[in-house]
C-alpha cells in the first residue's frame, strides 16, 4: 500500500491579496484591509505538520506538472481558460475569476494549472499502480468552478479535470466524486450533471455557499438523472450527522455505483473551529470518515481514492484534521495527537437531531436509482 502526495511551493504563491469582496477593503470607509481568508497559511501549516511529524517520509512524493489547455478544456470552455490567463497576466495582480471574490493574482493561471496537473499526476500514478491512494495539497481550490465561471475562490475545477483525464486517458470509466467540504460542490455537480458515468455526492452545510445551492432535490438531469446526490446538513451538524450520512448515503451509493476511481473534494472547513461554516467536526471525525472511504475504495476499486484539498480556514486546527486524514489514508499513526481534542470534547457532544436525520433520509431514498 503506497500513498502518493503532491505539494509544490508555487501553490503557496497564488496571491489572493486583501479582502476581495467578502470583506471589502476600504480604508476611506473605515473598513480595514485584511488578508484574504483563502491565503497560504492553513495549507502551509498542513504541509509543515506532515513534514515535521515524520509522515512525509512514509509518502511517495509525486511532482506536479501544469495541466495543458487541452486537459483544461475537457471541462472548461476555451473562453474561460483564456479569461483566467488574461486576468493572471495583469501586471499588478488584482484579477478575478468571475464573482468578485475569487482572486486571480499575477501568475495564478500557471499555478492553477499546476494544481489541476497535480491531481492528474496522482490519478495517473494510481491507474498505473504506482500508488494505491493519494492526497494533493493544492491551491487554488476547485469544486465551485463551473465550465465557464470561477467562483468561491476556485479557478479551475481540479477534481473534474482529473476525472475527465481518468476517463479519457487511463481507462477508468466510472468515477465517483465525494465532496465533504463544508460548502456545496456546485461546480463539479454542474459539470457532470447530465453524465451518468460520474456520480457526485456532496455533504455540506445547507445554504452556506453558494447561496441556494445543493438541495436534496438536485439529482442530475437527462441521462445523469439520479447521479448527483446532495446532503444539505443543517448548521450545527457534527460527528453523528456526518457519520450517519456516510453510512446511509455515501457508502450505499458507492456500493451501487461501483466506481473505478473515487475522487474526494477534501475540504476541512466543516471542523468546529472553521470561520467559514458552522459545522462541528473534529479531527477524530475526519479520521472515521476517511476510514470508511478507504474501506469503500478497497472494496470497490483497488483502493484508488485520490483526494484534492479544497477549503479549511482555521490555521491552527486544519493541520490536525489533515493529519488524521493522512494517517488513515496511509494506515499509519504518528506521535502527534489532536491538541484540541480535550477542548472540543466539551462542546461537540451534540445529539443527532430530527432535522439532520430528515435530510439524510431524503438523500438515502434516492440511492436506489443508482445502477
Contact residues toward ligand 6DK (CB under 6 A) are 22, 38, 141, 143-144, 152-154, 181, 183, 209, 211, 267, 269, 276, 310-311
Q: Which residue do the cell numbers 511529524 mark?
A: 53
Residues with catalytic function: 144
| Residue 196 Cβ vs ligand 6DK, minimum distance, rounded to whole Å | 25
Could you tell me if 179 and 200 are in contact, meaning their C-beta atoms sit under 8 angstroms apart?
A: yes
Distant-in-sequence, close-in-space partners of 362: CB < 8 Å, separation ≥ 6? 216
144's contact among Zn ion, ligand 6DK, none, with CB below 5 to 8 A by partner kind, is ligand 6DK
State yes or no: cis peptide before 210, omega within 30 of 0. Answer: yes
Measured from the CB atom, the residue of 311 and 319 that comes closer to Zn ion is 311
Residue nearest to ligand 6DK (CB): 311
141's contact among ligand 6DK, Zn ion, none, with CB below 5 to 8 A by partner kind, is ligand 6DK
Residue nearest to Zn ion (CB): 311
Could you tell me if 144 and 210 are in contact, meaning their C-beta atoms sit under 8 angstroms apart?
A: yes
Q: Which three cell numbers stand for residue 79?
A: 473562453
Measured from the CB atom, the residue of 228 and 367 that comes closer to ligand 6DK is 228
Chain length of the chain:
371
Measured from the CB atom, the residue of 193 and 318 that comes closer to ligand 6DK is 318
Strands 198-205 and 228-233 come out as parallel
121's contact among Zn ion, ligand 6DK, none, with CB below 5 to 8 A by partner kind, is none
CA dist 324 and 291 (Å) reads 10
40's contact among ligand 6DK, Zn ion, none, with CB below 5 to 8 A by partner kind, is none
Measured from the CB atom, the residue of 278 and 357 that comes closer to ligand 6DK is 278
| Residue 144 Cβ vs ligand 6DK, minimum distance, rounded to whole Å | 5
The strand order across the sheet containing 261-266 reads 60-61, 3-6, 133-136, 305-309, 261-266, 175-179, 198-205, 228-233
117's contact among Zn ion, ligand 6DK, none, with CB below 5 to 8 A by partner kind, is none
Q: Which residue do the cell numbers 489532536 mark?
A: 338
CA dist 317 and 285 (Å) reads 13
275's contact among Zn ion, ligand 6DK, none, with CB below 5 to 8 A by partner kind, is none
| Residue 190 Cβ vs ligand 6DK, minimum distance, rounded to whole Å | 14
| Residue 209 Cβ vs ligand 6DK, minimum distance, rounded to whole Å | 4
Measured from the CB atom, the residue of 183 and 239 that comes closer to Zn ion is 183
| Residue 276 Cβ vs ligand 6DK, minimum distance, rounded to whole Å | 5
Measured from the CB atom, the residue of 8 and 183 that comes closer to ligand 6DK is 183
Distant-in-sequence, close-in-space partners of 312: CB < 8 Å, separation ≥ 6? 42, 43, 46, 267, 268, 269, 271, 274, 318, 321, 322
CA dist 59 and 114 (Å) reads 20
| Residue 246 Cβ vs Zn ion, minimum distance, rounded to whole Å | 18
Measured from the CB atom, the residue of 118 and 152 that comes closer to ligand 6DK is 152
For binding to Zn ion (CB under 5 A), which residues are involved?
181-183, 267, 269, 311
185's contact among ligand 6DK, Zn ion, none, with CB below 5 to 8 A by partner kind, is none
Could you tell me if 181 and 233 are in contact, meaning their C-beta atoms sit under 8 angstroms apart?
A: no
Could you tell me if 157 and 75 are in contact, meaning their C-beta atoms sit under 8 angstroms apart?
A: yes
Q: Which three cell numbers stand for residue 212?
A: 441556494
Q: Write the DSSP assignment of 171-185 as a string of letters.
A: ----EEEEE-SSS--
| Residue 143 Cβ vs Zn ion, minimum distance, rounded to whole Å | 8
Strands 103-104 and 95-96 come out as antiparallel
Amino acid at each position: 500500500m503506497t500513498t502518493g502526495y503532491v505539494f509544490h511551493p508555487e501553490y503557496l504563491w497564488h496571491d489572493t491579496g486583501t479582502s476581495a469582496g467578502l470583506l471589502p477593503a476600504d480604508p476611506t470607509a473605515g473598513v480595514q484591509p485584511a488578508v484574504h481568508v483563502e491565503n497560504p497559511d492553513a495549507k502551509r501549516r498542513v504541509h509543515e505538520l506532515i513534514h515535521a511529524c515524520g509522515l512525509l517520509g512514509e509518502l511517495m512524493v509525486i511532482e506536479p506538472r501544469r495541466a495543458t489547455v487541452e486537459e483544461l478544456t475537457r471541462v472548461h470552455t476555451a473562453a474561460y481558460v483564456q479569461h483566467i490567463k488574461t486576468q493572471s497576466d495583469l501586471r499588478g495582480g488584482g484579477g478575478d475569476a468571475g464573482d468578485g471574490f475569487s482572486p486571480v493574482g499575477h501568475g495564478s493561471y500557471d499555478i492553477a494549472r499546476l494544481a489541476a496537473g497535480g491531481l492528474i499526476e496522482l490519478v495517473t500514478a494510481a491507474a498505473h499502480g504506482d500508488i494505491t491512494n493519494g492526497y494533493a495539497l493544492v491551491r487554488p481550490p476547485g469544486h465551485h468552478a463551473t465550465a465557464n465561471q470561477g467562483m468561491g475562490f476556485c479557478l479551475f475545477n481540479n477534481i473534474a479535470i482529473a476525472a475527465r483525464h481518468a476517463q479519457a486517458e487511463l481507462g477508468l470509466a466510472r468515477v465517483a466524486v465525494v465532496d465533504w467540504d463544508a460548502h456545496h460542490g456546485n461546480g463539479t455537480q454542474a459539470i457532470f450533471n447530465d453524465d451518468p458515468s460520474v456520480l457526485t455526492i456532496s455533504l455540506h452545510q445547507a445554504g452556506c455557499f453558494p447561496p441556494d445551492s445543493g438541495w436534496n432535490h438536485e439529482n442530475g438531469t437527462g441521462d445523469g438523472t439520479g447521479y448527483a446526490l446532495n446532503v444539505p446538513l443543517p448548521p450545527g451538524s457534527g460527528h453523528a450527522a456526518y457519520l450517519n450520512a456516510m453510512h446511509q448515503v455515501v457508502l450505499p451509493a458507492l456500493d451501487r455505483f461501483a466506481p473505478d476511481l473515487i475522487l474526494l473534494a477534501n475540504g476541512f472547513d466543516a471542523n468546529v473551529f472553521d470561520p467559514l461554516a458552522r459545522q462541528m467536526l473534529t479531527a477524530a471525525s475526519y479520521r472515521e470518515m476517511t476510514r470508511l472511504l478507504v474501506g469503500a475504495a478497497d472494496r470497490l476499486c483497488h483502493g484508488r481514492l485520490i483526494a484534492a484539498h479544497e477549503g479549511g480556514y482555521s490555521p491552527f486546527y486544519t493541520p490536525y484534521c489533515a493529519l488524521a486524514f493522512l494517517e488513515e489514508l496511509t494506515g499509519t499513526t504518528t506521535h502527534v495527537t489532536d491538541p484540541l481534542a480535550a477542548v472540543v470534547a466539551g462542546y461537540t457532544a451534540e445529539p443527532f437531531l430530527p432535522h439532520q436525520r430528515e435530510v439524510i433520509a431524503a438523500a438515502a431514498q434516492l440511492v436506489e436509482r443508482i445502477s
